[in-house]
Chains A and B, each alone.
Chain A
Amino acid sequence: MSQKWNEIISSGNSKRISIRELWSYRDLVVLLVRRDFVKEFKQTILGPLWFVIQPIFQTCIVLFMFGKIGGLGPQGIPQISFYLGGVLMWNLFSENLVKTSETFRANANIFGKVYYPRLVMPIAQILTSFLKLLVQLSIFFVAYFYELYTSPAIEPNVGILLVPVYFMVAAILGTGLGLIISSLTTKYWDLRFLVQFGVQLLMFVSTVTVSFSVLADKPVWMQNAIVANPVSSIIEAFRNAFLGPLGGEIYVPGLIYSCSFALVSLILGVIIFNRVEKNFMDTV
């Protein structure tokens, strides 16, 4: 009698990523997102407002330091939605990166007791970050419509339709890099420290703080350094869509670079992650 086994657990290193298996855990994803949301608000008075307060303060600091003192902001248009948009985009990227890179360490106690596809965690993280973004966008639109009403120099265009795509790219960039880092940190914890301040430093080498237009008369290496940050071109394109050419420019080579960077890091990240998840409990 021939035996048909529906699962074989063996020592083989590569395991196929089963989309069907992931799909069967969709309820878990939803519940994890819910958990991440609910646990933030429990026993707080302001609740979801906290999601908004943090970027407002960040924006204030960046606006003051770089826009007012440094004079690196856009010329001829108001600066609040300019900087706030950049901060939101950057936060989406960095939060996904940092949280995803901690997947194995933060969940070691659960992963050590129960099996489920580990990719569920990063997926839930992306969804959580988008929900958070939705809340945060409300404050962006308040600032934006105020500025749109008061300043004639702001010229929104059809590029707004592409904004969801820009957000997607930023999130995927963060997740992809996070996946790669999370797989490496199971064994070499050093990377964890790098990530913590690395992400903060990177923000200063991006268009969050500086506008492309200011860079035009700066040395080429400076321009290259800013464009090398894959989030830079997306932020510029986002600003262009809402604020017009004065807010930011669409730099096509940079956008292509960002998208391919995102795609490559995601694929590479998933592959490495998948490889590590089988045995990470032995090394974490």
Chain B
Amino acid sequence: MSKKVLEIENLGKQYKLGQVGTGTLSHDLNRWWAKLRGKDDPFQKLGVENDRTSEKSSGYVWALQDVNLSLNEGDVLGVIGRNGAGKSTLLKLLSKITSPTTGEIRVRGNIASLLEVGTGFHPELTGRENVFLNGAILGMNKDEIKSKLDQIVDFSGCAAFIDTPVKRYSSGMMVRLGFSVAAHMDPDILVVDEVLAVGDIEFQQKCLGKMNEVSKSGRTVLFVSHNMQSVGKLCTKGLYLQNGKMVQTGGIDEVLSAYVTSTSSNNFSYKSENNESAEGKILKAEIVNEAEELKGEVGIGQQWGVRVTFQLNQDLKHVILGSGLSGTMDENINTTWSSPRDLKAGVYQIIIHNKEILFSGGTYYVTIGLSTFERTIDYLEKEISFVIVETGREEIDPRILRLKGNGFILNPFNETFRKL
């Protein structure tokens, strides 16, 4: 049986909005008076749910509220959510930078947190001196650092500059050195913020590899990132936060897809609003199913199409409609186009059917361009999106193999199979 190493119960953190300053003294006195009489904090009740966009009525806000969670040894938890969802607050509480307003966190083993690389680096000190200082700040002792010094320097790739003051380093080198120190800690529980978003691609790969190694070695990791790809790759469990509250927790795949679905705007139909146009314009663009019904969700293997209505104000030659598909990570996946036509002024409709290619589950964005050979007439970049969902097994073409980490495009190969 795997051991429980972390338990979070009813965790909450309240913050005061606006400037800390005016009114704090009177609130402090009020609080102190309430405490003296054995009453609850009068300002704890005021907090409202944390929603960045809405105007607050009270001056307090819950950055995190009612979070419950437990992690076993070896779990790798990905914490996801939009900006301001409370991810960083959670990490801050876990790393004891600030203490919770309600609830508690119970830990077995030691926690090391990595909210920033190179914390405490002093520009005047050399790389080597900073490795020691930074390591000590992160909780390592001198002998531990000494024994790992070579590995750390190697990993950072800064060996030639190790006796140069870090103020002469490029920012990339500084980050490399900082991460290398952090990567050589041996905690039972590791808390990592989005520090991987730094360094060049080669180093990012190295960092991810290291993270992978750490998680494979049976340590417990909490990982916050906006990079869904790396979260999906590294984590086994997920926690989805929204406005300081837990929306979903469980296996990483379900949590990720819940997050992706909720964040994509799901505009599966587009209607042009302004009417000024020179040669022509796209009036409407919609996702439709086989029966030409508007659809925001399509099952894997089911047919779908993009129906585009456009208007031409003059006669044009070689009119082409192109459509492109891209994923949530902004990668372009597929491009299709119609055959060129010579058209007279008027309103037309075209449906680009998608029959042959199977796409795996996920959210997709559609870009549409209307053009002639010479120039673009109208262009809609990712104005509409839709979701391909994994529907019940019986509805799906039995030929489609479903695996974790599928590519975007699924195709059973055309086989030649013989018995010899």
**Mutual binders A and B:** yes
Q: Is the CB of A24 within 8 A of B141?
A: yes
| Chain B contact residue count (CB 8 A cutoff) | 46
Q: Tell me the complex Cα distance, A9–B101, Å.
A: 11
Asked whether any CB of chain B lies closer than 8 Å to the CB of A54, the reply is no
Asked whether any CB of chain B lies closer than 8 Å to the CB of A217, the reply is no
Interface residues of A in 8-59 (CB under 8 A from B): 8-11, 24-25, 27-28, 30-32, 34-35, 38-39, 42-43
Asked whether any CB of chain A lies closer than 8 Å to the CB of B138, the reply is yes
Interfacial chain B residues near A7, Cβ < 8 Å = 106-108, 110-111
Q: Tell me the complex Cα distance, A167–B7, Å.
A: 48
Interfacial chain B residues near A35, Cβ < 8 Å = 122, 125, 129, 133
Asked whether any CB of chain B lies closer than 8 Å to the CB of A4, the reply is yes
* Nearest CB of B to A112, in Å: 6
Q: Is the CB of A187 within 8 A of B24?
A: yes
Q: Is the CB of A8 within 8 A of B92?
A: no
Shortest Cβ distance from A27 into B: residue: B142
Interfacial chain A residues near B24, Cβ < 8 Å = 187, 283
Interface residues of B in 23-75 (CB under 8 A from A): 24-25, 28
Interfacial chain B residues near A28, Cβ < 8 Å = 133, 136-137
Interfacial chain A residues near B138, Cβ < 8 Å = 114
Q: Tell me the complex Cα distance, A171–B347, Å.
A: 87
Interfacial chain B residues near A109, Cβ < 8 Å = 119
Cross-chain pair count, CB within 8 angstroms: 114
Interface residues of B in 91-105 (CB under 8 A from A): 92-105
**Partner among B92, B103, B105, B109 whose Cβ is within 8 Å of the Cβ of A6:** B109
* Nearest CB of B to A11, in Å: 5
Q: Is the CB of A39 within 8 A of B136?
A: no
Interfacial chain B residues near A10, Cβ < 8 Å = 99-100, 103-105
Asked whether any CB of chain B lies closer than 8 Å to the CB of A115, the reply is yes
Q: Tell me the complex Cα distance, A115–B112, Å.
A: 9
Interfacial chain B residues near A6, Cβ < 8 Å = 107-109
Tell which of A94-102, A172-180, A264-272, A274-282 binds the partner.
Answer: A274-282
Interfacial chain A residues near B15, Cβ < 8 Å = 282
Q: Tell me the complex Cα distance, A7–B187, Å.
A: 14
Q: Tell me the complex Cα distance, A272–B151, Å.
A: 41
Interfacial chain A residues near B116, Cβ < 8 Å = 113-114
Asked whether any CB of chain B lies closer than 8 Å to the CB of A150, the reply is no
**Partner among B98, B102, B103, B124 whose Cβ is within 8 Å of the Cβ of A42:** B124
Asked whether any CB of chain A lies closer than 8 Å to the CB of B139, the reply is yes
**Partner among A4, A111, A114 whose Cβ is within 8 Å of the Cβ of B113:** A114
Q: Is the CB of B105 within 8 A of A8?
A: yes
Interfacial chain A residues near B132, Cβ < 8 Å = 31
Say whether, besides A11-B104, A38-B124, A114-B115, A27 and B141 are in contact (CB < 8 Å): yes
Contact with A along B196-212 (1 / 0, CB 8 A): 00000000000000000
Q: Is the CB of B100 within 8 A of A114?
A: no
* Nearest CB of A to B237, in Å: 19
Q: Tell me the complex Cα distance, A10–B104, Å.
A: 4
Q: Tell me the complex Cα distance, A5–B4, Å.
A: 10
Interfacial chain B residues near A43, Cβ < 8 Å = 124
Say whether, besides A32-B133, A35-B133, A112-B97, A187 and B20 are in contact (CB < 8 Å): yes
* Nearest CB of A to B323, in Å: 46
Interface residue SS majority, chain B: mixed
**Partner among A24, A34, A115 whose Cβ is within 8 Å of the Cβ of B97:** A115
Q: Tell me the complex Cα distance, A25–B141, Å.
A: 7
**Partner among B100, B107, B111, B119 whose Cβ is within 8 Å of the Cβ of A110:** B119
Interfacial chain B residues near A42, Cβ < 8 Å = 124, 165
Shortest Cβ distance from A111 into B: residue: B97
Interfacial chain B residues near A11, Cβ < 8 Å = 99-104
Interfacial chain A residues near B165, Cβ < 8 Å = 42
Contact with B along A246-284 (1 / 0, CB 8 A): 000000000000000000000000000000001111110
Asked whether any CB of chain A lies closer than 8 Å to the CB of B327, the reply is no
Say whether, besides A9-B107, A42-B124, A279-B98, A27 and B136 are in contact (CB < 8 Å): yes
* Nearest CB of A to B183, in Å: 15
Say whether, besides A3-B4, A9-B100, A282-B15, A114 and B95 are in contact (CB < 8 Å): yes
Asked whether any CB of chain A lies closer than 8 Å to the CB of B120, the reply is yes
Interfacial chain A residues near B115, Cβ < 8 Å = 113-114
Q: Tell me the complex Cα distance, A111–B92, Å.
A: 11
Q: Tell me the complex Cα distance, A28–B119, Å.
A: 13
Q: Is the CB of B136 within 8 A of A9?
A: no
* Nearest CB of B to A8, in Å: 5
Interfacial chain B residues near A110, Cβ < 8 Å = 119-120, 137
* Nearest CB of A to B120, in Å: 5
**Partner among A8, A24, A111, A187 whose Cβ is within 8 Å of the Cβ of B104:** A8
Q: Is the CB of A5 within 8 A of B106?
A: yes
Asked whether any CB of chain B lies closer than 8 Å to the CB of A116, the reply is yes
Interfacial chain B residues near A188, Cβ < 8 Å = 25
Shortest Cβ distance from B193 into A: residue: A113
Query: By CB atoms of chain A within 10 A, which of B95, B99, B125 has the most?
Result: B99
Shortest Cβ distance from A13 into B: residue: B99
**Partner among A3, A116, A281 whose Cβ is within 8 Å of the Cβ of B92:** A281
Q: List 24 A-B contacts (CB under 8 A).
A: A3-B7, A4-B108, A7-B106, A7-B107, A7-B111, A9-B94, A9-B96, A9-B107, A10-B103, A10-B104, A11-B103, A28-B137, A31-B136, A35-B129, A38-B124, A39-B122, A39-B125, A42-B124, A113-B119, A114-B116, A114-B120, A115-B96, A279-B98, A283-B24
New A-B contacts (12) at CB < 8 Å, excluding given A187-B28, A278-B96: A3-B106, A5-B7, A9-B96, A10-B105, A27-B136, A27-B141, A32-B133, A42-B165, A113-B119, A115-B96, A281-B98, A282-B98
Nearest 6 Cβ contacts at the A-B interface: A10-B104, A28-B136, A115-B96, A5-B106, A9-B105, A278-B99
Interface residues of A (CB under 8 A from B): 3-11, 24-25, 27-28, 30-32, 34-35, 38-39, 42-43, 109-116, 187-188, 278-283
